[in-house]
Structure 1
Amino acid sequence: MTVRAVGVEIHDDGLARITLSRGEAGNAIGLETARGLLDAARTCERAAVRAVLLTAEGKSFCVGGDLREFSQLSGQALEKHLVAVTDALHEALRLFAAIDAPLVAAVQGAVAGAGIGLAAAADVTVAAENASFTAAYTGIGYSPDAGVSWFLPRLIGPKRALDLLLTNRRVPAAEAAALGLVSRVVAAEYVLAESVRTAQTLSRGPTAAFGATRRLVAAGLTSDLGPQLDREARTLAAAAASDEGREGVAAFLGKRAPDFTRTTSTH
Structure 2
Amino acid sequence: MDRDGALVVVTVNRPERRNALDAEVKVALRDTLAEVAADPGVRGVVLTGAGGHFCAGQDLKEHAGLLEQGSDVALATVAEHYNPMVTTIVTMPKPVVAAVEGSCVGAGLGLALACDLRVFGRDATLATAFSAIALTCDSGLSYALPRAVGEARARELVLLGRSFRPEEAVGWGIAGGIAEPGEALTEATRIATRLAAGPTSAYAESKRLLADTWTRDLAATLGAEDEAQRRAGATEDHALAVKAFLAKERPVFSGR
Q: Is the 8 A contact 2:98 2:112 kept in 1?
A: yes
**Matched residues in 2 for 1:73 and 1:167: separation?**
26
Matched letter for residue 254 of structure 1? A
| 2:48 alignment partner, SS class | strand
**Counterpart of 2:61?**
68
CA distance in 1, matches of 2:244, 2:164: 44
Give how far 1:189 is off: 3.3
Moved more, 187-196 or 106-115: 187-196
Q: Shift in Å at residue 76 of structure 1? A: 4.5
In structure 2, the partner of 1:249 is 242
How far 1:100 sits from its partner (Å)? 1.1
The alpha-carbon deviation at position 246 of structure 1 amounts to: 0.4
Name the amino acid aligned to 1:72: G
- What are the equivalent positions in structure 2 for 1:162-181 lying under 5 Å apart? 162-181=155-174
How far off its partner does 1:106 sit? 0.3
Question: Is the CA contact (8 Å cut-off) linking 2:78 and 2:138 kept in structure 1?
Answer: no
Alignment of 1:112 with 2:101, yes or no, is no
CA contact (8 A) 1:118 1:146 kept: yes
Q: How does 1:1-267 map to 2 (within 5 A)?
A: 8-12=1-5, 14-48=6-40, 49-84=42-77, 86-261=79-254, 263-264=255-256
Distance 1:249 1:88 in 2: 42
Q: Does the aligned pair in 1 maintain the 2:37–2:93 contact within 8 Å?
A: no
Query: What TM-score does the superposition give when structure 2 sets the normalisation length?
Result: 0.95
Secondary structure, in 3 states, of the residue corresponding to 2:76? Answer: helix
Cα deviations by residue, 1:55-104 (Å, 9 ceiling, x for unpaired): 11123211111001111232554422331354222112212222211000
Residue identity (%): 33
28-37 or 70-79, which deviates more: 70-79
Let me know the Cα RMSD of the aligned residues: 1.5
Show CA shifts across 1:31-55 (max 9, x none): 1121111111121123221011001
- TM-score when scaled to structure 1? 0.91
Instruction: Tell me how far 1:233 sits from its aligned partner.
Output: 1.7
Q: How many residues align?
A: 255
Specify the SS of the correspondent of 2:46. Answer: strand
Provide the rounded CA distance (Å) in 1 between the counterparts of 2:77 and 2:182: 36
Deviates more, 1:231-240 or 1:73-82: 73-82
Deviation >2 Å, runs of 4+: 73-79
CA distance in 1, matches of 2:22, 2:228: 39
Report if aligned partners of 2:52, 2:182 keep a CA contact under 8 Å in 1: no
Q: Give me the whole-angstrom Cα distance separating, in 2, the residues matched to 1:230 and 1:33.
A: 41
Structure 2: which amino acid aligns with 1:149? S
Structure 1's unaligned 5+ residue stretches are 1-7
With 133-142 and 39-48 compared, the bigger mean Cα shift is at 39-48
State the AA in 2 paired with 1:97: V
Per-residue CA deviations over 1:2-43 (Å, capped at 9, x if unaligned) read: xxxxxx12322x111100111110111121121111111121
Q: In 2, are the aligned partners of 1:114 and 1:145 still within 8 Å (CA)?
A: yes
